[in-house]
Structure 1
């Protein structure tokens, strides 16, 4: 069983892993890029078991000649999700997405439109005061290479994630939380993404804030290590995610409430 000191121990372990990763990446590293990732998520609850989600994403990047992280817009994406909550511990999801890749450093300086389909499962270790989860995702990627031919790439991702509210024991309106995760990517070989089986390692450390129970923002730092045939890459990225739950439903309720109040005021 996990002891009460585990949250502190986990944070210390994550810090040690981060230091080790930065040290190991400093040797034999060919190229380092700075990037900014932005994603807006719209979640809609359908029932106690089902929900949907639409994500809009944009990625900006520096180049080898400039450190400006907004120098190039290298990716835009649209992703549609379906989520099934099997139990309090298991959540199963699938998505279909379109990625407009252009000048992505890890792929190359060419346009590579991509269709992506994924199956995902998340298992939650619910603990008092924090949540530990592990995510398993299998992705099928259909993407165009520099010869204008489409290739199929299979990729498996395994993540472990730690989340702890700072000023409350649960996530709710007005709560700040800390989050840390590490994820490995394994893939099939392809001309467009390289032949290496190990695709990358992604370490993420950040914090979030819930403006309401249905609106939250999360800002984090991400370090990615990408071994490539033509030279390894490191990406240091700032990530900003904004999430809205039941936005249309809440707007309709607000408009209806305002309308009813106006009618009530007229009757007085």
Structure 2
């Protein structure tokens, strides 16, 4: 399938989604809006040509019913460990295990709800000159505590399409600024803690990033989420900051070794 066909499908889904959104709002009426801040640091390590690992640390903040400050309440802290396998130049297969310390997360409920999460993921890349288009499929198992202190298992499927466009170069490398946009649909099994609706949410992201070096990059984006819930619908407007380090400790080790070699040469 060509990238043009994928884009046509993507825009068709967006149009259908806006129709669903309109009907849902007319049906349920009341919607609560939150402002949030999502922050994540990612550490990637290359093992060989086929395998790599990743470790993520995250922290999220949210406004509340009485305050519009997006840093008013720390609602979530998380850590996540990944394994990535590059099956072909176009296919990347991934899996992760993660722990989320959920505290007063509006989408779940105003109570502490720790969660273990497991996932299998496949990403397909359409490599084009001047931009990259990808589609991602992820199946998650969420083992999460509800308001009655019982743990529930929630299955969730996520489908994303993502577009990355370097601004001052044709490829991503040191000194390059890039634009990024994505849209993701979530579907889940029903549970007390996350609600009974099959459609979980839609997440749209747009923004940009900068590569300080080939191994260090920063990405700042705006995210909009629409979440239909049993009692009332929710909209989240979030500022998202992601800092990524590739092979950080190996790079530091090489620099220290190089400095030691120069010191010995000077002696």
TM norm structure 2:
0.92
Runs of 4+ in 1 over 2 A off after TM superposition: 23-29
Cα shift at 1:2: 6.1
Cα shift at 1:29: 4.3
For residues 111 and 63 of structure 2, the distance between their equivalents in structure 1, rounded to whole angstroms, comes to 16
SS class of match (1:167): coil
Cα shift at 1:30: 1.7
1:143-202 per-position Cα deviation (integer Å, ceiling 9, x unaligned) = 100100000000000000011100000000000000000000000000000000000000
Q: State the partner residue of 2:156.
A: 155
State yes or no: 1:76 paired with 2:72: no
Cα shift at 1:253: 0.1
Residue correspondence of structure 1 range 14-25 to structure 2 within 5 A: 24=22
For residues 102 and 227 of structure 1, the distance between their equivalents in structure 2, rounded to whole angstroms, comes to 20
Unaligned runs of 5+ in 1: none
RMSD: 2.1
Q: State the partner residue of 1:215.
A: 216
Cα shift at 1:229: 0.3
For residues 70 and 158 of structure 1, the distance between their equivalents in structure 2, rounded to whole angstroms, comes to 29
Unaligned runs of 5+ in 2: none
Cα shift at 1:64: 1.2
For residues 129 and 172 of structure 1, the distance between their equivalents in structure 2, rounded to whole angstroms, comes to 13
Equivalent pairs counted in the alignment come to 258
TM norm structure 1:
0.91
Cα shift at 1:26: 7.5
Q: State the partner residue of 1:136.
A: 137
Q: State the partner residue of 1:167.
A: 168
For residues 153 and 76 of structure 1, the distance between their equivalents in structure 2, rounded to whole angstroms, comes to 20
Q: State the partner residue of 2:239.
A: 238
Cα shift at 1:108: 0.7
Q: State the partner residue of 1:259.
A: 260
State yes or no: 1:85 paired with 2:97: no
SS class of match (2:104): strand
For residues 30 and 176 of structure 2, the distance between their equivalents in structure 1, rounded to whole angstroms, comes to 39
For residues 232 and 26 of structure 1, the distance between their equivalents in structure 2, rounded to whole angstroms, comes to 8
For residues 249 and 42 of structure 2, the distance between their equivalents in structure 1, rounded to whole angstroms, comes to 13
1:211-258 per-position Cα deviation (integer Å, ceiling 9, x unaligned) = 000000000000000000010000000000000000110000000001
SS class of match (1:51): strand
